[in-house]
Chain A
Amino acid sequence: MYSDTPTDVGEIDSIEGVSPEELREKMLDGLPSKTMRKRAKQILTNDPDTPPEIAANSRTVPGIMTQRGCTYAGCRGVVIGPIHDILHITHGPVGCGYYSWQTRRNLAKSPEGAANFLQYCMTTDMQEDHIVFGGEKRLAEAIREAYALFKPKAISVYSTCPVGLIGDDIHSVCRQAKEELGINVFGFSCEGYKGVSQSAGHHIANNGVFKHMIGLDDHPVEAAPFKINVLGEYNIGGDAWEIDTLLRKCGISVLATLSGGVTYDEITSCHQADLNVVMCHRSINYMAEMMETKFGIPWFKVNFIGAESTAKSLRKIAQFFDNKELKDRVEEVIAAEMAALRPVQTEIKARHKGKRAALFVGGSRAHHYQDLFADIGMETISAGYEFAHRDDYEGRHVLPSIKVDADSRNIEELHVDADPERFRPRLSPEAKAKLVANGFTFSDYRGMMSEMKKRALVIDDISHYELEKLIETWKPDIIGSGIKDKYIVEKMGVPCKQLHSYDYGGPYAAFTGAINFYREVDRMLSSKVWSYVVPPWVKARKPLAVAAAEDAA
C-alpha cells in the first residue's frame, strides 16, 4: 500500500568543525545591516518536523549578485517556450528574444514532415521610434509576416519591459490578429519587472495557457484506460521522453507534458485526462489547481528524479487508478528497471557514500536532486531555491498564511468555476476517502524542508557571497547550480553540476536517467583535474620559512 508518511531523515551536526548555526552567522556577518536583516530571514537551519518560516519569494536586494532572472524568462523561457509547433514572438528590443533562443535545453522532436519552430527566434526588434510612438502597429505587422511565412496553428506574443511602460496593448493586437488570420493568437503581459523573479512569469504563463489553450478541443483522444498529464516537466536533456517511455511501459498514457516536447493539439485536448501529476510544483501548481476546479481532474505531486522517487511515484499513480493489472505491471517494470540499475548504483555508492552535496537551483530541482544523490549514499548539507515560494519549502499547508505582498498582487489570480458541461470528478467520493484514509495525499506538496536533514542549511535566493562562504567553510564535494555559478565554484576546485542545463548531458529522469546521473556524478567526483593544480616544480619548492631557516643556519 502506498503511503506518503515521511521517514526519519537524520541530523547534521558540525561539518569541518563548523556548525550550521556558526556558518549561518558567518554568511550574515559581512553584510550591511539592512541587507543582513533581510537575508537572516532567508538563511535558516532546517527542522523537518516543523519547518521554520522562510522569507521566500521576496525581493532581491539591489546590488546583490543573485541567480535570479525575470518574469519574461519564467513565462516565455520556461513555461511556454517549449511548445514547438506554435510561433513565439517577443515584442520588444532584440535582446530578450535573442537570449531566450535555444539557450534552455527544452528539447523537441517534430513529427515527420512538420517543422520545429523552436529553431526560429522571432522578435519585433523595437527601435527608438517604436518606443516613442508606440509599437502596436509593428507588432500587428510582425504577426502578419510571421503567419504568411510559417502558417502556424497559433502565435503567442510576449511583452518585455519597455512595452509595459509605453502602454502597448498587446492583447487587443492579438485579438485583432486572431480575427484577421483565423488562428489562435494570444499575448502574455510578462514584462521583466513584474514580480521578484521568474516565478511571476510562471504564474502569468499558467493563466494564459489555461485561458487560451486548455479545453479548446473536445474531440475524443485515443481511448486508453489510464490517461494522465505530466505537468511541470520541460524535457531538459530529454527527461520528458524518458518519463513518457517509462509510463508507457507500465501501460499509462501521457496525453500532454506541460510543456516539454509538447504540441499545441496535445495541450488543447489534455483536459480529457484522468489525472494530473506534477513534477515542478512551483512553475505549474496553478494549472493543476485550475484544471481540477474546472474539469475535475485530481492532481498530486510526483518526482521522477531518483530511482527510489521514481518507483514511489509510479506506485502512487498505480494506487490512484486502483487497478490490479496496472499495479502488477508497475511492479514488474520497477523490478526490471531496478535489476538493471542496482549494479551501477551499488558500484558508485561504494565510491561516494557519505560525500556531500549542496544544491541551489530552480523551484523544485534543489529538492528533487537530493533524492538522486541519496540513491548513491550522498547527503545534501545545504539547499535552496532560486525563485520558489514558502509552500515549496515548508509545504502547501502554509498557503493560507502566506501574506500577499505588492509584488504578488500584480499577478492576476484567475477566477475559475466548474465547467457546467465538462466537469467530471475522476474519483467517487468513496474511492477518494479510501485512498486518503490510507495515507494518500491529493493536491499537496510537502515541500523540501520536511525531507531535508535537521539543521541542514536552507538558503533562499543564495547570493554569490554566501555560496563562497559555504564552499570555503563546509567544503562540499559537489555543488548543483546554474551557469552563472558554475565556473566560480569550479575555480574554487569544487565540481559544479549545472542542474538547469545538465551541462548538456542527461536525461536524468526515471531509471535510465538515474543511471546516467550516477555515472556523471562518479565522473565528476573521480576527476583528476583538481589534483593537477599544483605543478611539480612548485611542489618541489621549499616553503619560504624552511628556506629562510636553512639560509640562517
Chain B
Amino acid sequence: MLDVTTATVSDRKALRINPAKTCQPIGAMYAALGIHSCMPHSHGSQGCCSYHRSHLTRHFKEPVAATTSSFTEGTSVFGGMANLQQALVNIFSIYDPEVVAVHTTCLSEVIGDDIPTIIKKSREEGKIPDGKIVIHANTPSFVGSNVTGFSNMCTGIVSYLAEKSGLSNGSINIFPGWLDPSDMRELKRLADALTVPFTLCPDTSDVLDLPQTGVYEMYPKGGTPVASIKGMGDAIATLALGEFTAYPSAQKLLDMHAVPFEKLDAPIGLTNTDNYIDALRRLGDVEVPAWIDAERGRLLDVISDIGQYFHQVPVAIFGDPDMVVGLTRFAIELGLYPKYIFTGATGRAFETRIKELLGDKYPDTVVRHGADLFELHERIKGEPVKLIFGNTYGKYIARAEDIPLVRFGFPILDRVGHRMFPVVGYRGAMHLVEKISDALLNHRDRTCAEEWFELVQ
C-alpha cells in the first residue's frame, strides 16, 4: 500500500499527489441543494456534473439531482449562452423547480460566459417562467477549492435573494457552512431548544437524508425556503459557523443589508458548541433550557471517564479547513496531541486560527494549508501518529501504516455513520468520543501482547 512513499518530505512545486481538496463546483452544487425546490445547474461539460453528482451520491447514498449545459467543442468556441438558455427551458418545463442555481466550471470561466447577462436575456425572452428564480455563482475550478465553491454559492444565494423590508423579524440567520445533513439537523434541534426564531441557510437536512418511503421526490420537504432566505435581510444578526464556508456570505449580508454577524468556529466539541449555544442565547435574549446543561454534562462525564486513553496521543487531522479548525479544538479538549493539521485548501487564515488554538503547548505540530495527502504520509512515516482523522481517502495511509482512521469530513465514501449521527453539538461530540475510543482501543486490543489483553477498560 502506497509503497513508493518514503519518510523524506519531497520538494514539489508543480505536482500535486493525492489531493486533500477538490474543485469549486461540487461545493456550489452541494450548497444549492440546501435551498428548497432548487435545481443545481452545472454550466460546462457533462463530465463535471457527472463527477459531482456521483461523488455527492457516494457520500450521501441519496439521489442528487443536478443538470448540465452539456458543452461540446462548438460551445467552447462560440460560448455557452445557447446551451444555458436551452437548458433553462428544459429544466423548468421538465423538472419544474422553484429555483435554478447555476454555477460555472473552468471551461465556461475560460470562455468568459457572462452568466448574469444570460439570465437577464433569458428572463426578457420568456425562457424563465414568471415567478421562477435563477441565481448564479462563479466557481472557476482553478481558483480555491471545493470550500470556495460552497462559499461562493452561499454568497450568490444571499446576493440574489436576501431582501430588507426595514422591519426586523426578530430572527437569527445561522450560516452553518459545509456540514452534513445530520449536523444541520442537530444545529436546528439546539436552536429550537432555545426557542429563538432562526433561518438555517443552506439546509440540506430532509434533502440528502431522506427516509425510505417508496416514493421519490425530486424536491423533498427540506432545504431553506426562498421566503425564509428573502427574510434574512430583516434578521437581527447572523451566526457564521466557519471562516471559509460561512463567513463570506455573512459579510455579504452585512454589506448589503447591514445585518451584523458573529463569526464562530464550527460547533464541534465542547467549547465550540458552548459558543454556539451562548451566541444564540445572547442574540435571541433567551434562557438555555436545563436539559442542554445536562446534555453538556453527559459529554463532560464521558470525557472524564475515558480521557486516560486520549492523553497526549499524537494524532493527524486533515480535511476542509472549517471542519479541521473545529475538530482541532476538540482534540485539544480531549487531551489528544494534534501532531499534523492539514488542509488541501489554501488560506493563511487557517494557519493563523490553528496556531491561536494550539498556543505554545505543541511546539512540533506541523500545520499546513494547500498541502496534500502524499506529504501528510511522508511526515507520518517520519514521525508516526496513533490516530488519523480525515475523509475516506485517509484509509490508504491508515492501512499502509496500521494507524486507525476516524472518518471525519467530506467525502466519506465507504461507511454510513455520518449520514445519521452528527459531529456538531454535544451529541455530535459524544459520537466522536465513541468513535475515537473505539478506534484506539480496538487497535490496542488487536495488537497488544496477549498478557496485556484486558477485559475491563
A193 interface residue per 8 A CB criterion: yes
Closest to B89 in A: A32
**B106/A92 in contact, CB under 8 A:** yes
CB distance from B342 to the nearest CB of A (A): 15
**B95/A162 in contact, CB under 8 A:** no
**A123/B16 in contact, CB under 8 A:** yes
Closest to B64 in A: A484
Assuming the contacts A63-B89, A128-B140, A164-B76, asked whether A120 and B2 have C-beta atoms less than 8 A apart, the reply is: yes
CB distance from A71 to the nearest CB of B (A): 7
CB distance from A211 to the nearest CB of B (A): 22
B308 interface residue per 8 A CB criterion: no
Assuming the contacts A31-B94, A95-B22, A127-B142, asked whether A73 and B213 have C-beta atoms less than 8 A apart, the reply is: no
**B1/A119 in contact, CB under 8 A:** yes
- Cα-based distance from A407 to B105 in the complex (angstroms): 21
A69 interface residue per 8 A CB criterion: yes
Assuming the contacts A122-B16, A126-B142, asked whether A192 and B46 have C-beta atoms less than 8 A apart, the reply is: yes
Within 8 A of A (CB), among B64-84: 64-76, 83-84
B216 interface residue per 8 A CB criterion: yes
Q: Which residues of B lie under 8 Å from residue A61 when comparing CB positions?
A: 70, 86, 90
| Cross-interface CB contact of B374 among A92, A95, A120, A468, cutoff 8 Å | A120
**A121/B106 in contact, CB under 8 A:** no
CB distance from A499 to the nearest CB of B (A): 14
Q: Which residues of A lie under 8 Å from residue B111 when comparing CB positions?
A: 165
**A491/B15 in contact, CB under 8 A:** no
Question: Which of A96, A98, A468, A482 has the most C-beta atoms of chain B within 10 angstroms of its own C-beta?
Answer: A98
Question: Which of B26, B72, B91 has the most C-beta atoms of chain A within 10 angstroms of its own C-beta?
Answer: B72
A406 interface residue per 8 A CB criterion: yes
- Cα-based distance from A66 to B95 in the complex (angstroms): 13
Within 8 A of A (CB), among B219-264: none
**A192/B107 in contact, CB under 8 A:** yes
Within 8 A of A (CB), among B1-58: 1-4, 10, 12-19, 21-23, 25-26, 41, 44-48, 50-51, 53-55, 57-58
Within 8 A of B (CB), among A18-38: 30-32, 34-35
B141 interface residue per 8 A CB criterion: yes
CB distance from B425 to the nearest CB of A (A): 27
A67 interface residue per 8 A CB criterion: yes
A141 interface residue per 8 A CB criterion: yes
- Cα-based distance from A527 to B23 in the complex (angstroms): 38
**A64/B110 in contact, CB under 8 A:** no
B152 interface residue per 8 A CB criterion: no
CB distance from B99 to the nearest CB of A (A): 15
Within 8 A of B (CB), among A148-199: 148-150, 160-162, 164-166, 192-197
Q: Which residues of B lie under 8 Å from residue A126 when comparing CB positions?
A: 142
Within 8 A of B (CB), among A534-551: none
- Cα-based distance from A123 to B14 in the complex (angstroms): 9
**B17/A66 in contact, CB under 8 A:** no
Assuming the contacts A69-B46, A126-B142, A161-B106, asked whether A492 and B215 have C-beta atoms less than 8 A apart, the reply is: yes
**B142/A131 in contact, CB under 8 A:** yes
Q: Which residues of A lie under 8 Å from residue B53 when comparing CB positions?
A: 484
**A483/B58 in contact, CB under 8 A:** yes
Question: Which of B47, B213, B216 has the most C-beta atoms of chain A within 10 angstroms of its own C-beta?
Answer: B47
**A98/B19 in contact, CB under 8 A:** yes
Within 8 A of B (CB), among A370-418: 406-407, 410
| Cross-interface CB contact of A63 among B16, B22, B90, B393, cutoff 8 Å | B90
- Cα-based distance from A64 to B70 in the complex (angstroms): 9
CB distance from B238 to the nearest CB of A (A): 30
**B46/A197 in contact, CB under 8 A:** yes
Question: B360-397 CB contact bits vs A (8 Å, 1 = yes)?
Answer: 00000000000000100000000000000000010010
Q: Which residues of A lie under 8 Å from residue B65 when comparing CB positions?
A: 65, 464
Assuming the contacts A194-B73, A487-B57, asked whether A145 and B213 have C-beta atoms less than 8 A apart, the reply is: no
Question: A458-471 CB contact bits vs B (8 Å, 1 = yes)?
Answer: 00000011001000
Closest to A146 in B: B15
Q: Which residues of A lie under 8 Å from residue B283 when comparing CB positions?
A: none
Question: A76-117 CB contact bits vs B (8 Å, 1 = yes)?
Answer: 000000000000010011111111010100000000000111
| Cross-interface CB contact of B50 among A468, A484, A491, cutoff 8 Å | A484
Question: Which of B14, B48, B93, B107 has the most C-beta atoms of chain A within 10 angstroms of its own C-beta?
Answer: B14
**B86/A63 in contact, CB under 8 A:** yes
Q: How large is the interface on A (under 10, 10 to 19, 20 to 34, 35 or more residues)?
A: 35 or more
| Cross-interface CB contact of A62 among B66, B69, B212, cutoff 8 Å | B69
Closest to A138 in B: B14
**B212/A193 in contact, CB under 8 A:** no
Q: Which residues of A lie under 8 Å from residue B75 when comparing CB positions?
A: 193
**B22/A161 in contact, CB under 8 A:** no
Assuming the contacts A73-B47, A124-B15, A484-B50, asked whether A66 and B70 have C-beta atoms less than 8 A apart, the reply is: yes
B164 interface residue per 8 A CB criterion: no
Q: Which residues of B lie under 8 Å from residue A344 when comparing CB positions?
A: none
A442 interface residue per 8 A CB criterion: no
Assuming the contacts A192-B107, A487-B62, asked whether A465 and B94 have C-beta atoms less than 8 A apart, the reply is: yes
Assuming the contacts A97-B19, A162-B110, asked whether A70 and B374 have C-beta atoms less than 8 A apart, the reply is: no
**B15/A141 in contact, CB under 8 A:** yes
Q: Which residues of B lie under 8 Å from residue A67 when comparing CB positions?
A: 50
CB distance from B275 to the nearest CB of A (A): 32
**A120/B17 in contact, CB under 8 A:** yes
B133 interface residue per 8 A CB criterion: no
**A193/B72 in contact, CB under 8 A:** yes
A433 interface residue per 8 A CB criterion: no
Q: Which residues of A lie under 8 Å from residue B62 when comparing CB positions?
A: 487
Question: A415-427 CB contact bits vs B (8 Å, 1 = yes)?
Answer: 0000000000000
Within 8 A of A (CB), among B385-415: 393, 396
A486 interface residue per 8 A CB criterion: yes
Q: Which residues of A lie under 8 Å from residue B88 when comparing CB positions?
A: 63
Which 6 A-B pairs give the minimum distances between C-beta atoms? A70-B47, A95-B23, A63-B87, A63-B90, A93-B141, A192-B45
List 28 A-B residue pairs with CB atoms under 8 Å apart, sorted by A's residue number.
A32-B89, A32-B93, A62-B70, A63-B41, A63-B69, A66-B50, A69-B46, A69-B51, A93-B142, A94-B19, A94-B23, A97-B19, A98-B23, A103-B58, A121-B19, A123-B19, A128-B143, A142-B15, A148-B10, A150-B4, A162-B109, A192-B44, A193-B107, A194-B73, A486-B57, A490-B212, A492-B215, A493-B215
Known: A65-B65, A165-B110, A491-B215. 15 other contacts (CB 8 A): A62-B70, A65-B67, A67-B50, A68-B46, A95-B48, A95-B51, A99-B51, A120-B374, A139-B14, A192-B48, A407-B73, A484-B57, A488-B63, A491-B210, A533-B212
